[in-house]
Amino acid sequence: MTANWTERAYLETHPWINFSLNIVEFSHATWLLFGEAESKCSHVAGVPLRPEVARKLHTVYLSKGIHGTTAIEGNTLSVEEVAARVEGDLPLPPSREYLGREIDNIVDACNDIANDVVEGRSAALTPGRIKEFNQRILAELPLKEGVVPGHVRTHSVGVAGYRGAPAEDCEYLLEELCSWLERIDRQIEQQEELRFTLVVMKAILAHLYIAWIHPFGDGNGRTARLIEFELMVQAGIPLPAAHLLSDHYNRTREVYYIELDKTSHGSFAIEPFVRYALRGFVDELREQLAVIREEQMEVTWENYVHSHFRDHETPARRRQKHLVLDMPKGEVVPIGKLREVSMRVALEYSSKTAKTVTRDVNALTDWGLVRRVRGGVIANRKVIKAFLPVKSVDGHV
């Protein structure tokens, strides 16, 4: 027979696990971060990218997120090695294959979550789904004695001095957590203007509560961060952005554990942890938008170059167009090395003299597409900055 809730041991040992939330008491700094995060997520979601760039962006941030969530737990693969593993191009020796297997497990789970959302099969968060995530994360990994993937623990566990909730209460607490998060869903439906705030809050709280309860013998942190990712994706956070929190937690690992620890001491305030998560989320969104903006500038540059040659499809004009398009971004190329900027340029100049190269450079210079500088020439990508809206910088336009 299940014990009455008033007899639950966790009420004495873990009073911070109280399933309560009062966002009205949050500071203006936290609200400002929510607002900036919402704005930047809208920007990420609203920018069309070339298919190959979109795929690359997805792979880059998937790799960063998975590297983040596994590196915190001791996986020693670098972010470059994780990216190679994501692409299916990182064979490992038998002694290290378990590191790759851990990456594979989380990649598969993240991809399934994304596919479910895209195809309209998003599943509700239930104790069974939480256990499924843990089972998938730990599948075929070396584990300590007594750890059963996907099964709630029957013994006490701890990490870095923190002890998880009493084992006899874990099943109950998972049920309570899922019911509480479902009630937050109803709040979201009733308060459209707070949708983004409550969505992100729900994801961070799910992460926090799994870390507090520590329901499994192993893999609790990875399970918490995978749940956080799923809740953000289900709520409409763009996929590249949904991986950012895991990367942030890893990049600030020491602070991550400090802020987690603070939530179970003193007044049990959760706002500092929420603000820490949001501040990192916003910082990483800024970095992500800078990458996207660079891609947009590149597309604008290519369109600008093509516009100069639209009505001039002679072999010479085509050769000049390819030359300026293939010049490396931001690099000065000596005149004598221009033939080598790409394979197609090398083929087009294979039967041409140095005078032809000089003549082409002069034409491109006259059109403002390249600039002569010390040591050679450089593609004049700066010209497209004139297309940006005018704004004041330190009082000067």
Taking the CB of residue 163, how many other CB atoms lie within 10 A of it? 13
Contact yes or no for 99/92 (Cβ under 8 A)? yes
d(CA 315, CA 116): 50
pLDDT band, residue 388 (cuts 50/70/90): confident
- Identical topology for domains 8-293 and 311-387: no
Residue 309 contacts residue 321 (beta carbons within 8 Å): yes
Domain residue ranges in the chain: 8-293, 311-387
The pLDDT score that the predictor gives to residue 11 is 94
Report yes or no: 36 and 43 within 8 Å, Cβ to Cβ. no
Look at residue 261 and give its three-state secondary structure.
helix
Strand pairing category for 376-379 and 162-163: unpaired
pLDDT tens readout for residues 241-298: 999 999 999 999 999 999 999 999 888 899 999 999 999 999 999 999 999 999 999 9
Residues of the chain with pLDDT > 90: what percent? 77
> Which CATH architecture best describes the domain 8-293?
Orthogonal Bundle (1.10)
Q: Which two tokens stand for residue 340?
A: 């080598």
**Is residue 396 over pLDDT 60?**
no
Strand, coil or helix: 369: coil
3-state secondary structure of 351: coil
What is the maximum alpha-carbon separation in the chain? 93
Helix H or strand E segment including 378: strand 376-379
CB distance 13 to 165 below 8 Å: yes
Q: Answer whether 46's CB lies under 8 Å from 289's CB.
A: no
pLDDT at 1: 35
Q: Are the beta carbons of 109 and 133 closer than 8 angstroms?
A: yes
Looking at residue 22, its pLDDT comes to 85
Q: Choose the CATH number for 311-387 among 1.20.1290.10, 1.10.10.60, 3.40.50.2000, 1.10.10.10.
A: 1.10.10.10
> Rounded to an integer, what distance in angstroms lies between the CA atom of residue 323 and that of residue 348?
9
- Strands 158-159, 376-379: pairing kind: unpaired
What is the token pair recorded at 322? Answer: 């390819």
Structure confidence by residue, pLDDT tens digits, 16-60:
999 998 888 899 999 999 999 999 999 999 888 888 888 888 899
Handedness of CA 254, 260, 264, 270 (dihedral sign): positive
The more confidently predicted of residues 158 and 359 is: 359
